Amino acid sequence: MSRRNDLKALRNLIGEAHDLLRTTTLPERRAERAYELLTAAVSLTDDLMAQSPMVELGKKGGKATAKRGSDYFRKIASMRKEHRGGRPPSKAGKPN
């Protein structure tokens, strides 16, 4: 939840600067350009606040599971049933 609070705080800071620049005039159209950039920043933070972080995590989960295959999970489940637990030992470090 702290990420969401951070985004809200960032949105409030950008919004305040956005409102200040709306009424300010600076030489060489600097205020207008800063106003345009802050408008884009406001819309980006609004979009980030609308997205759920769990959606991003869910996109990654199925890919890693698919790489391992069903045999891997069958082996892990059998180890749990026998109360052996943990991951299977690595075959790379064992001498034949």
pLDDT tens, residue by residue, 42-95: 888 887 777 766 666 666 666 777 778 888 888 878 877 776 666 667 777 656
- The first and second tokens of residue 74, run together, are 């069958």
pLDDT at residue 2 greater than cutoff 80: no
One-letter identity of residue 88: P
Q: Which own/partner pairs from 44-48 qualify as long-range (CB within 8 Å, at least 24 positions apart)?
A: 45/7, 45/10, 45/11, 45/14, 46/11, 48/7
pLDDT at residue 96 greater than cutoff 60: no
Lowest mean pLDDT among 8-22, 31-45, 70-84: 70-84
Is the pTM for the entire model greater than 0.75? no
CB atoms within 10 A of CB 14: 20
One-letter identity of residue 28: E
Rg of the chain on CA atoms, in Å: 26
